[in-house]
Amino acid sequence: MKIQNPHDKFFKETFGRLDVARDFLNNYLPQEIRDIVDLNTLEPQKDSFVDDELREGFSDILLKSNINNKEGYIYFLFEHKSYASKNVVFQLLKYIINIWDAKLNKEKVKELPLVIPMLIYHGKDSWKSETRLGEMINGYDLLSDEIKRYIPNYEYLLFNISKYSDEEIKGQAQLRILLTIFRDIFIKNTEEFIESMLRASEYLLELEDKQTGIEYFETMFKYIFNVRADLTKRHVNSLVNKIENTYPEGSEIVMTLAERFREEGMAKGLKEGLEKGLEKGLEKGLEKGETNTLIKTAMKLLTKKFGNLPEDVKTKISNLDNSTLDIIIEGIFEYKSLDDIRKYIG
């Protein structure tokens, strides 16, 4: 359930759909660019150009399209940190050059294609970084037009969705959900965020295909539960009660996902508590020396993973010492079958 980079996964699962990407471009491209881009010719490209060390904060998608009746590309860079980065204009330039370099060296083209760069940002900080390369070059604006001809300069499109109002969030249901959730994911006030989730859920009622709506609803809440660790059981219960009235199909999904995340969190808390000797390994409290608690925890985790346990396994676990119980619990994510724990229980 836990996703290594939930922002990246949610972005790519949504924007990776051509209908959603087309919907975004149709609603948000400046008209002068929209007039020369044939959105019916969009083709997703498998390449990614984000450096490995930056993947925790950035995702990208490259789309091929006819632009001004010639082959061109639209490059989405999505910054999913809660704060604005510096020097993105330079970073984007490197990615554009990498795209061109691949065309020259792999495809042996003689002419470089157009690449329209755009950045999607949803952090809490105001966007203060330059959107034009010339702004990074010391004294560029003081140069004459004759001198500027020799200095590289370009500008990228910035979509700061953290500043969008509800009215400014346009498009079909899946796009509006993505933008709404991304806009509000870093809201500190949990109650306000719950209201945002409810608005996003209501958009799903517009989808004619109920199965698509349910699948996307699950994708949305997997992302939310991965990112928002502050959602308590009380919040989830309140959310379920409200969703039952707005999007009934989703209430059971929320409960199931929340329970799975809670159980995984308990198991992780238990493991970390045992490793670090903390007293707060579980919500109910776990002290390493309490054999009964360790036995019950081991039983519960193994039952969740493998179903009802054989009686001989239960008996042997009940007679284990604390250190062996610790080992069994700590390795819960590594076991493939009950045979993997029999070496500990005899």
Query: Does residue 43 contact residue 66 with C-beta atoms inside 8 Å?
Result: no
Print the domain residue range for 256. 167-286
In a domain? residue 133: yes
In a domain? residue 1: no
**Is there a single domain that holds both residue 222 and residue 155?**
no
**Is there a single domain that holds both residue 142 and residue 158?**
yes
**Is there a single domain that holds both residue 255 and residue 109?**
no
**Is there a single domain that holds both residue 69 and residue 121?**
yes
**Is there a single domain that holds both residue 89 and residue 181?**
no
Q: What is the DSSP string of 311-346?
A: HHHHHHHHT--HHHHHHHHHTTTT-SSTHHHHHHH-
**Is there a single domain that holds both residue 174 and residue 244?**
yes
Count of domains forming the chain? 3
Q: What is the DSSP string of 89-141?
A: HHHHHHHHHHHHHHHHHTS--SSPPEEEEEEEE--SS---S-SBGGGGSTTGG
Cα distance between residue 101 and residue 95, in whole Å: 10
In a domain? residue 272: yes
pLDDT (tens, 9 = 90+) of the chain, 346 residues, equals 456 688 888 899 888 899 999 999 999 999 999 999 999 999 999 888 888 878 888 899 999 999 999 999 999 999 987 777 888 999 999 999 999 999 999 889 889 999 999 999 998 888 888 899 999 999 999 999 999 999 999 999 999 999 999 999 999 999 999 999 999 998 888 888 888 888 888 888 888 788 888 888 888 888 888 888 788 888 888 888 888 877 877 777 887 777 776 665 545 544 554 445 444 444 444 444 457 778 888 888 888 788 888 888 889 988 888 888 878 887 776 788 888 888 888 7
- Mark which of 163, 197, 212 sits at the end of a domain: 163
- Mark which of 163, 179, 209 sits at the end of a domain: 163
Query: Does residue 60 contact residue 95 with C-beta atoms inside 8 Å?
Result: yes
**Is there a single domain that holds both residue 176 and residue 294?**
no
**Is there a single domain that holds both residue 35 and residue 101?**
yes
Per-residue model confidence (pLDDT) at position 2: 57
- Mark which of 271, 286, 301 sits at the end of a domain: 286
Angle between helix 173-184 and helix 18-28 axes, rounded to 10 deg: 70
Query: Does residue 247 contact residue 202 with C-beta atoms inside 8 Å?
Result: yes
In a domain? residue 119: yes
Q: Is the model's pTM score more than 0.75?
A: no
**Is there a single domain that holds both residue 236 and residue 305?**
no
**Is there a single domain that holds both residue 158 and residue 178?**
no
**Is there a single domain that holds both residue 18 and residue 146?**
yes
Cα distance between residue 63 and residue 18, in whole Å: 9
**Is there a single domain that holds both residue 193 and residue 304?**
no
Cα distance between residue 141 and residue 139, in whole Å: 6
